[in-house]
């Protein structure tokens, strides 16, 4: 597994990551690992179109479903079976 040393990181950035880690219940190192992993994988996926999520998003986008409008959240609503008549 690779290791990084990050020098000259602004103190405010360090503090922001520390607070973010606390909110997520992670240690500082785990939070930095999560930020780097998600950022790198998102970048690779967006350039190469790799991964199931990217392919699914492309299909929805072609169909016009990614308009970025708010969708009402239905927390606490009981699920119902679909009727196929």
Residue 71 domain-assigned (yes or no): no
Q: How far apart are CA 21 and CA 31, in angstroms?
A: 5
The whole-angstrom distance between residue 28's C-alpha and the CA centroid of its chain comes to 18
Secondary structure element (H or E) that encloses residue 67, with its range: none
Question: Could you report the per-residue pLDDT of 6-53, keeping only the tens digit for each?
Answer: 999 999 999 999 999 999 898 999 999 888 888 877 666 555 445 566
Residue 44 domain-assigned (yes or no): yes
Query: What is the three-class DSSP state of 28?
Result: helix
Question: Could you report the per-residue pLDDT of 54-77, keeping only the tens digit for each?
Answer: 666 677 776 666 655 666 667 777
Overall pTM > 0.85: no
Residue 70 domain-assigned (yes or no): no
Domain span holding position 55: 11-62
Residue 37 domain-assigned (yes or no): yes
């Amino acid at each position: 597994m690779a290791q990084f040393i990050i020098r000259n990181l602004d103190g405010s950035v360090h503090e922001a990551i520390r607070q973010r880690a606390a909110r997520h219940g992670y240690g500082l190192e785990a939070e930095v690992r999560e930020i780097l992993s998600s950022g790198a994988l998102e970048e690779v996926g967006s350039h190469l179109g790799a991964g199931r999520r990217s392919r699914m998003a492309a299909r929805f986008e072609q169909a016009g479903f990614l308009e970025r409008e708010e969708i009402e959240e239905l927390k606490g609503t009981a699920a119902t079976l679909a009727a196929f008549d």
